[in-house]
A = this chain, B = another copy of it.
Amino acid sequence: MFGYMGKILRINLTKETIKEEIFNEKIARFYIGGVGLCTKILFEEVKPGIDPLGPENKLIFASGPLNGLFPCKYVVAAKSPLTGIFGMALASGPFASEIKYAGYDAIILEGRAEEPKYLWISDDEIELKRATHIWGKTTNETEKIIKEEVKHPAARVASIGPAGEKLVKIACIINDLVRAAGRTGLGAVMGSKNLKAIAIKGKKKIQIAREIEFKKLWEKYITIFKEKPHWASVYGTTSGIELYSRERGCLPTKNFTSGVFEGVHNITGETFLYKWTISRSSCPKCPVRCWGTIEIRKGKHIDYYKGPRPEYESIAALGSCCLNDDIESIVLANDACNKYGIDTISTGVIIAFIMECYEKGLITRKDTDNLELSWGNSKVILQIIERISQKDGFGALLSEGVKKIAEKIGGESKDFAVHVKGLELPMHEPRGQKGMGLAYATSPRGACHNRGRGEVKEAIPELGINKEFVEKTNPFNIWGKAKILKISQDWRAVEDSLVICYFANLSISLIVDLFNAATGFDMSINELMKCGERIFNLQRVFNVREGITRKEDILPKRIEEPLRGGYTDGVSISKYEINSMLDEYYNERGWNKYTGIPTENKLRELDLNEAIIELKNLGKLI
């Protein structure tokens, strides 16, 4: 198979068996790869109701047909311990394509190792190696030790930190030292399997079907890139912070009570760039170069630091969301999250939530191990990160995510526990972009800004969104958002299956051409969009099996309250608004409006016959 490696690696950790399976063209044409492939495997192999942290759960690492050929990410998927539904996370970095260089489109991990192990894959061997000596180590320590052990300094490593080992529900997987497959707690799934890390060094060649055509398309791609500087090229994702606060009023601040942060000038991209950034770098093949390395010498608290420039989401979550404008503390907090292996977004929202509980007197110093949880207390933020990661004292409760914490604290706290389906909201205030609210309510993994967006600023003629339509839409309005979101979610499912980086997608038609030239397929945008819709619907069916209905497609109560201050002062998303958008959305999707379950007709149209049978057996299709 061109573009693909045609093989899936299946490791049973309980039995310590290693199997290669075929990934055939029929499946590739139906599910593309990446997220699509993960969805199909999880749907077929992970039965509803199983414990996400038990051996029945499966953890899948997958790449797509463009990995190794184009700026790509990898995807990791499993049933999520944080949300209890479809869990997935993507990350960039060299590890992403190393899976393919080792000869695989995906790696399925099942069962549970008796004692801590790490998986080592090279062209010569596949081995489950003992990891008892690195158990407890941070991710950066782990990566260093493993590289030395396997004697491959260029081996690519993805690992969990102490948080994943301890089954912290917001634990993530860190690859290439600084990249995080952050959301939905998949680090805990890896920890539950006693798997500390995966290290890969491969040299397999990726076959391209139409090499000359592919090369020409790549040149065209680089030409397009050169014509217009990419927004993320200079400041990386940090460029959004000031803009989001001052111009759009959409920077989550003080646990989503405001979209405007007074201290924003202290934490902007400019601050990073001019003060500290010493180099920019990128994933393999990527011209964007959105990564930054910073160096701090004799700072306010920091004597010396050299490491990654935090990304937008982390700065907002650990900064404005906690009313913290101490930029050095944000750098340190981000670094600590990476090393312990916890998701910066969920961490920031949990801290903001608990600060609000503290302010409101719902908890006191007796509950907080005597920590003073006042807003913006940057010192305490660092202490909490450590406690969450180690499930230490007060941190054990916090490690469960805001949904569960609010259930335990009770009272009015559930009104400001800012999550959807258990996943904490990311750093894009939905009230100032109401289509984002609909996206949060309907994303397959809970509150997510990356599974399609309900807002559009420019026409996308390839996807049928024209200029007139765009001009009629408005971020403060609900009009047209269901239509945009449905299209955007389906296209994003295609991107996540390819598994290209969104920043690197400069032209949809060019991406389609690159895909066809690499694989030798000749699929149209519409055919790919049908794959996207199929994948999205199958994720929904997975969630429906776990009990998800329209009732769970809701926004946190806080979002019904008006924002305070700045450009979005007074803006909310009312129950009526979200319900109106949902009505339209289910209609666009061909889902039952009352249950939020895909209809039999829709599933049949997408050739998802097994899904029909399953839902019928469960009595969920009437």
Contact = CB atoms under 8 A, between A and B. Distances in A.
A478 interface: yes
A541 B64 CA distance: 72
A565 to B, nearest CB: 9
B479 A477 contact: no
A570 B562 contact: no
Contacts of A247: 472
B566 A479 contact: yes
Interface string A453-482: 000000000000000000010111111000
A163 B562 CA distance: 46
A570 B576 contact: yes
Contacts of A474: 474-476, 567
Contacts of A581: 570
A24 interface: no
A572 interface: yes
A479 B562 contact: no
Interface in A558-600: 562, 566-572, 574, 576-577, 580-581
Given A474-B474, A477-B476, A567-B479, A574 B572 contact: yes
Nearest to A579: B570
State which size class the interface on A falls in.
Answer: 20 to 34
A482 to B, nearest CB: 11
Contacts of A567: 472, 474, 477, 479
A487 B255 CA distance: 35
Contacts of A569: 478-479, 580
Contacts of A475: 474, 476
B249 A568 contact: no
A576 B581 CA distance: 23
A562 B247 CA distance: 26
Nearest to A473: B567
A249 B571 contact: no
A468 to B, nearest CB: 9
Contacts of A570: 477-478, 574, 576-577, 580-581
A89 to B, nearest CB: 32
A568 B477 contact: yes
Contacts of A479: 249, 566-569
A570 B438 CA distance: 13
A475 B574 CA distance: 18
A577 B581 CA distance: 22
A572 B571 CA distance: 10
A569 B474 CA distance: 12
A607 to B, nearest CB: 34
Interface in A8-51: none
Contacts of A249: 479
Nearest to A572: B574
Nearest to A561: B576
A598 B572 CA distance: 31
Contact of A577 (B477, B562, B566, B577): B562
A475 B569 CA distance: 13
A562 B562 CA distance: 15
Contacts of A562: 574, 576-577, 580
Nearest to A478: B570
A580 B571 CA distance: 11
A456 to B, nearest CB: 15
Contacts of A476: 474-477, 571
A576 to B, nearest CB: 5
Contacts of A580: 562, 569-570
A569 B571 CA distance: 15
A562 B570 CA distance: 15
A569 B472 CA distance: 13
A260 to B, nearest CB: 10
A574 to B, nearest CB: 6
A527 to B, nearest CB: 33
Nearest to A562: B576
A560 to B, nearest CB: 10
Contacts of A574: 562, 570, 572
Q: Which 7 A-B pairs have the closest CB atoms?
A: A476-B476, A570-B577, A479-B567, A562-B576, A570-B580, A478-B570, A569-B580
Given A476-B477, A562-B577, A570-B576, 15 more contacts: A247-B472, A249-B479, A474-B474, A474-B475, A474-B476, A474-B567, A475-B476, A476-B571, A477-B568, A477-B571, A478-B571, A562-B574, A562-B580, A570-B580, A570-B581
17 contacts: A247-B472, A249-B479, A472-B567, A474-B475, A474-B567, A476-B476, A476-B477, A477-B568, A477-B571, A478-B569, A479-B566, A479-B569, A562-B577, A562-B580, A570-B574, A570-B576, A572-B574
